[in-house]
Structure formats: C-alpha cells, structure tokens
Structure 1
Amino acid sequence: MLNPYVIATSQHTDPQQAVADIAAQIDQTRLGGLIFFCSAHYPLEALARALNQQFVGCEMAGCTSAGELTHHGYATDSLVVLGLHHDAFIMRSALIQPLSSFDRQQAALLCDQLFPAAGAGFQPLVLSLFDGLSSQEEWVLAALEAELGGIAHCGGSAADDIHLRRTHVFYRGAFHTHAGVVIGLQTCLPFAVFSHHHLRPLHTKLVVTEADPHQRRVYELNGMPAAQAYAELIGQPLEQLSPVDFALHPLAVKRGETYYVRAIQQVNHDASLDFYCAMGKGSVLTQMYAEDLTSGLDEQWRQLEANLGPAAFILACDCVLRRLESEERQQQSQLAAFLRQRPLIGFNTYGEQATGVHLNHTITGFFFGYPRGLIQLT
C-alpha cells in the first residue's frame, strides 16, 4: 500500500497558476477525493473554474480561510490541498443551504447520502465546514449530531482573512455562502478527534445582562454597555479595542468542570459586542489567561501517537485568534517549528466544531495514524 494521502501547497496568487502548481504535486490516478482551504484573496469564480478544469470528475470540497496550515507551519494568501487516495479513503459530500432551515429530517437524509454503504474494513467520520458569518452553527450542529449516531465528527467555520464580510464553502464545483458542506469519509486508517485550548480561568466574571443569541450579539455586561465593560476589564480604551485584544484577553463560559471560550468577533457602533458563538442573557463569562500555545497540545498529540502510532497526517481547524495571539506574542517561529514536527494541513477558522459543540479559540481536528502493522508508507 502506498502513502494514503498527499499534501500540496501553492503560494501563487493567480488562481490558474496556483491550481496548476497543485496539480503538479498530485497523482490524479490515485485520487479518491480532494479537500482544500484557500485565502479569501483569490478571485473565487476563477479559482473554481481552474479547479474544475484540472480535477475533472473528482469529489472536491473546501472553504475560504483566515490563514492556512501546512507541514511548513502557518501560511497566508495560499491554496493548500489534501488529496485522499482511493485505496485508503472513500469521500462523499453534501451541501446544506440555507443553514437557517436545516432540521433533523434533512439531517437524516444527508447522513444517508454520505454513507450509502460502508466499505469493508473502513470506518466513517465527518468533517463539516460552515459559512463562518452565518451565526447558524449551533442549530445546524444540534440537528446533525443527533443523526450521526456516534460517528466521529469535527470541523471548522470558513473565514475571510479577518475582513468579516463574506465567507464561502465549496461544493460541486462552486463556492457558496449561507451554506455548509458536510464531508463524509470512510477510511482504513486509525484516527481520533482531538480538541485543545491553552487557556486557564482567572477569578473575574462578567454577566450577560442583555443579549440577542440569534445574532450572537451582547448588548450589556454587568448592566453596562458590553464593549465598555470589556474594555474596562482588560484596561484598554474602548475606541482602541481590536481583534488582537480579543485574542489576548478571551472570555469563557463554564459547563460542568469545562471552560468553553466564547470569542469576541467585533465591536459595534452602539458599544455592543458580536461573538463567534451564541450568547444568552444570564450567561456568566470568566476572564481567561493564556499558557504556552503548544505544551498541552504536544502532550495530547503524544498520547494519540501512543494509541494510534506515528501520525500519518493531522487535519486541523485552528481558531484565527490563536494565530493572532502567536503573532502578538512573537511566538510564530516557535509555533511553526512545533507544527513542522508532524504532517499537517488545515486552516484558521472563525469557529471550530467537535462532537456537535461549536467552539472558539481551539485547535480541533482529526489525527490519522497509519494502517495497523505499517509504521510509515512511501
């Protein structure tokens, strides 16, 4: 058995040249599917045409990003592609559009479409990619997870280089907004879902006293305009609040013994705050502080290697706020060196998903090992 995948990358800004560069790195006779992540700077219609012309008849899915992850570390303004070989993967995908009307009945039909028949010796998993500005992830995930029946599932929300204007997913040869693409994979490789954040709680609390959860908008914290209360908490002038502040001073809600980060997206003119996750009135937010970006993640991946063997590759959805934090703390070189230790592909997201939960400020994804009895394939 040959290597079960290929990772291809291109820094060409012209879509035709970028796709040609990718195609030169891939043996198309072995392709069982193709997953890609791309900068929102590309002219997307031209990129779609180039992909369709170059990979005729290939099952393809992907989305726009706020940065790309490769086996070289972080990339920007690039196209990164995971080619899945047909002897190790079966790939099917389905479109959810619009996200706002998705329900359990549609979820059941979608799951039947993804897994009509299991391959012998193959296990199923699901990767979901959603429009990251749709504010619909929580409701869609609830319906989808109820029908997956325990099938391993994670994913990420498409981004647009932190412009917060329009994000896209790719399905059946075209880019879509207000949509999600759900990718069903069956594989003979051992795998596991992982999710990690590097944040720990402080004692300071903020209570959501006025909010619209459907818009993910918080109007008041502790009875004050939300942005003003947050600015005072972190000691920053209100008018200077930026995504870097949101990355360095995150907030989280506690469920049981676990803290789930609720990342701020932007400040509005009325001093309300938009979040990347739904926030309801009465929610209690805890101020968090950051530990090293890699220490806990390294431990988690080492444990997976102990269970599954060396990494064949890691498919990762990494919150854009983690990337901003690494840049602000001047840890890019350290983080890139860490990421280069294992075969990695992924993207910087506007939110992550794991087992039906919408997350922020995490790196979440699938860790794939090699088939049992094989250490490394060539």
Structure 2
Amino acid sequence: MSYQVLFSQKTNAKEAVEELKQQKQTNETALVLYFASPKHYELNSLASEMQSAFAPAIVIGSTSAGEILSGQMTHDSIVAMCFDKKQIGNVKVQLLENISKGGRIVKDAFKNFETHFNIKMREMSHEDYLGMLMIDGLSHKEEWLNDQIGNLTKVPFIGGSAADNGEFKETSLFYEGKVYKDTAILMIAKPEVSFKLLKSQGFNVTDKQLTPTKVDEETRRVIEFNNKPAKIAYAEALSISPEEVESAFSKYPLGLIFDEENPFVRSPRSLEGNDIVFFCQVKEGVPLQLLEAKCIVETTQKDLENVEKELGSISAIVNFNCILRAKQLEKENITDKYAELFKDTPTIGFNTYGESFIGHMNQTSTMLIMN
C-alpha cells in the first residue's frame, strides 16, 4: 500500500474532514499527520472531527502558513498523510504541555518512550528510530527543546514550528482531538522501511559580518549590530537604504558559521523601529555572517536526487518548509517549479515559523523521506 495523501479546501471543518475521510483507502492506518490553515476553520471542531474520523490511529497535526502536497503549494486548506503500520512501524507520541515553564517535561516524556520501546533513549540507533517534533511557533522555546532532546538521545528529531499564515498571533497543535498552545508534540517511530532525514538549504556566505552588540534574547530582538542600530547596520552591510531593509530579509539572512556548506541560519522576521526581530534566538557577542540565498528549486532538486540515490527510491515525503523560503519562491515567481519537484511522490508539508533538525534553524526545509 502506498502512502496516502489527503487534501481538502472546503472551508467548513466537518465538510473538509468528511472529504478527507472519503479519500482514505485503507483500514490499516496507524498514524495520521495533518497540517491545516487556521483561516477558515474553528480549530476545536477541526481537531474533534479529525479524531473521530481517523481513530484509533494516532492523529496529530499543527496550524500552518501555507500547505504543501504532491505537486502543489496551497493556502487555506488541510493536507494529511496516512501511514500504515507496515510503513511507520511502532510509533509513540508524547504531548509536552506548558513548555514556557521548562522543567523535566522532556525527561519525563523520554522515560515513557523508553518504557514503550523497551530500550534506553541513548541506546536507540539513528538508523532504526526517527524522531519528529512540532511546537507552538510563538513559544520561543525551540532552542530549549532541541537542546534538551540533544542532551538525552542520539536520535535526531526533525520537524517544524506551528504557524498562522504570517499573522504571528496564535499558533496551535492538534493532539487526540484537542487544540493545544504553549505545547510541543514529540513522536518516535521505528519504521518498517528505510528512511532519511534531510536538511535542505542553499546559501553563499559573504564576507560581511554583523556582530549583535545589544540583544534582548528573550524576545529574539537585536537592538544593535556592530554598535549601531540594527536596521542601519544591516542596511550598510548590503549597501541599501534603511527603507529597503525589510524586503531584503528573505534573500539575505544571517548565519552562524561552523561549516560554510551548512550554516545555521538566523532569519530576520520583522522590523520594530530600528530593531530587528528574528525567528531564531540570537546571542549577544556571537558574530554572524551575512548570507545570500541560492536558487531554492535547484538546491532542493539536487538534495532530493542525492537522497534517492542513497535510498534507491522515494515513496513519501513530509516537508517542513520555512515561511521565508515560501516568500522567496513567490518573489522569484518559481513556486510552481518548487511544487513540481514533489508531483510524483506522495508529499505533505507546511510553511513553518522555524525548522528543527539537530537544533533550531530558519530558512531551511527539513524533510522526512521514506523509502
């Protein structure tokens, strides 16, 4: 049985879920993963309807800033993928509530994973087990969560931050028929098929350096770069006027450089006066390089071709794609070309407020790719 992609643009939650249910072709579903626009739907109704329609399968999801499915980049829709037991294998999900308070919630969740799989988290092989996470995209807790995970296991967790169509007002997760905020969902699976976790991005590292010299780390706000107002310093680095700064964000983010081929991207989100607010945490005194984005379509195509050579074939993709990549695709009028990369493969995904893969990053696509 191939992986099933479900899709609806009906604006009524009950009608949309009924359409998804009619598209489902198997009774062996173990996991339903879905991403939904928050624009039209009453979210409590949506979560309840999805649970009723697809239980006893595990049903989890998040709100989005644009949805992705095979051959399409859509808006104001619901996309879902059904995973059979023979594909996803043994799977366990944990809900982490009140993540703003921190504490032992990750350790407690991992104990439950260990009980379920009968193996210590540190002993799990990254070749046999995969981790997935979704998190409230306005929580500012992505770095903390990824750090906690990285300290406790070698299993890489891939995923994204829930979004709300670029409104930055309220992002939500769906779990067991209910809607949650200030929350993260962790999933571990031991698939019956081979898989690959992919981080896809493409940037040229410029020789322009911006060092955050005054930062409000709690709100991810940079007040000064190089001892100058952040907006002015960024404009000077690009040789543009301050009025052009915000329109340059998606093309010219910043990066924490350990490896020039794989910078940890720090993407500006918005201007507030002369301050620049970022999607990711920015540390005061840690130098950042100005980056220039390469063609997203070309870099993604190359990455997918490399994965296909490694796996032999690609049978399904879950794509956590940064909202800024989506904006750049629109700006360059190549959204359709990007979507075409996935037209022959069962694919779902969404545009996120941040991506996770061995850490929290931006302007990246992190993908779960199944053989």
TM-score, normalised via structure 1 length: 0.89
What is the alpha-carbon distance in structure 1 between the residues aligned to residue 344 and residue 338 of structure 2? 10
Q: Please say if 1:9 is aligned against 2:7.
A: yes
Q: State the 1:14 CA deviation.
A: 1.4
Aligned position for 2:109:
110
Match of 1:316 among 292, 315, 319: 319
SS where residue 212 of structure 2 aligns? strand
Of 230-239 and 274-283, deviating more is 230-239
Name the aligned partner's letter for residue 100 of structure 1.
Answer: S
Where do 1:282-293 residues align within 5 Å? 282-293=285-296
- Output the aligned Cα RMSD: 2.2
Kept in 1, the 8 Å contact 2:37–2:75? The answer is yes
Give secondary structure in 2 for the equivalent of 1:255.
coil
Aligned to 2:339: 336
Kindly provide the amino acid, as one letter, of the partner of residue 326 in structure 2.
Answer: R
Task: Tell me by how many angstroms 1:236 deviates.
Answer: 5.1
Task: Tell me, yes or no, if the aligned pair for 1:115 and 1:184 is still in contact at 8 Å.
Answer: no
Quick one: which of 151, 163, 181 aligns to 1:146?
151
Distance in 1 between residues matched to 2:54 and 2:133, nearest whole Å: 22
1:268 to 260, 268, 272: 272
How many residue pairs were aligned?
362
**Residues of 1 paired with 2:169 and 2:238: CA distance?**
27
Q: Does 1:295 align with 2:317?
A: no
Q: Which amino acid aligns with 1:330?
A: N
**Preserved contact between residue 61 and residue 183 of structure 1 (Cα < 8 Å):** no
Letter aligned with residue 369 of structure 2: F
The partner residue of 1:345 within 345, 348, 355 is 348
Q: Aligned partners of 2:314, 2:116: CA distance in 1, in Å? A: 27
Taking the TM superposition and a 5 Å limit, the aligned residue runs for 1:96-107 are: 96-103=96-103, 105-107=104-106
Tell me the equivalent position of 1:373: none
| Distance verdict in 2 for CA 1:115–1:28, change over 3 Å | farther
Q: Counterpart of 2:263 in 1: which secondary structure? A: strand
Q: Is the 8 A contact 1:191 1:308 kept in 2?
A: yes
* Residue 101 to residue 328, structure 1, CA distance change in 2 (3 Å): same
Shift of residue 229 of structure 1? 2.4
CA offsets 1:308-357 (integer angstroms, 9 cap, x no match): 111011111110101100101111222122232433211111110112x1
Q: In 2 relative to 1, CA 235–64 (structure 1 residues): closer, same or farther, beyond 3 Å?
A: farther
The corresponding residue for 1:368 is 370
Correspondence for 1:45 = 44
Cα deviations by residue, 1:165-185 (Å, 9 ceiling, x for unpaired): 111111121111111111222
CA displacement at 1:228 relative to structure 2: 2.8
Q: Is the 8 A contact 2:47 2:175 kept in 1?
A: no
**Aligned match of 1:130:** 135
- SS of the counterpart of 2:27? helix
Name the structure 1 match of 2:28.
30
5+ residue gaps, structure 1? 370-378
**Deviation for aligned residue 1:113:** 2.3
- SS at 1:88's partner residue? helix
Post-superposition offset of 1:234: 3.8
Cα distance in structure 2, aligned partners of 1:234 and 1:11:
41
Spell out structure 1 runs of 4+ moving beyond 6 A.
Answer: none
Contact 2:265 2:362 in 1 (8 A): yes
Q: Is the contact between residue 311 and residue 343 of structure 1 (CA under 8 Å) also seen in structure 2?
A: no
1:168 aligns with 2:172: yes
